[in-house]
Structure 1
Amino acid sequence: MTPEQKQQMGDAIVRSPANPVQQIRPGDDDDLIDAYTKTAQAPAQDGKSPWKPPSGPAACSATPW
């Protein structure tokens, strides 16, 4: 992944309030992998999945999916 893609992925992960990860150093591959893993293993909170992309026009430009 390019540094820009890593930044976008990190931003998308921390943007969800249902996500247990609230801070990522996108330049650190191990930190990004750890955040991705924790997000994948996180249970839904209040019916919201940590993987649900943020909504709205601004969210679409930074969401990698």
Structure 2
Amino acid sequence: MDMTGAKWRKSSYSGSNGGSCVEVADNLAGVVLVRDTKDRDGATLAVSPATWQSFVNLAKTLGPTA
């Protein structure tokens, strides 16, 4: 998969202390990419935009965990 044009962003809930964060690129047609900020050259998860939206909706429903 060509990820050259991916524009990665971190969640606004992520702190600046380098904790457990993910980055998301949702600017490519037909796919949302997710990766670990601590291993940017490692594996990248690719899901459909509908699957990503379902995940986001569920996360909002469950709320943050401490």
TM-score (ref. length: structure 2):
0.32
**Higher share in strand:** 2
Bigger helix fraction: 1
RCO comparison, higher one (Cα < 8 Å, 6+): 1
TM-score between the two structures when normalised by the length of structure 1: 0.33
> Which of structures 1 and 2 has the bigger CA Rg?
2
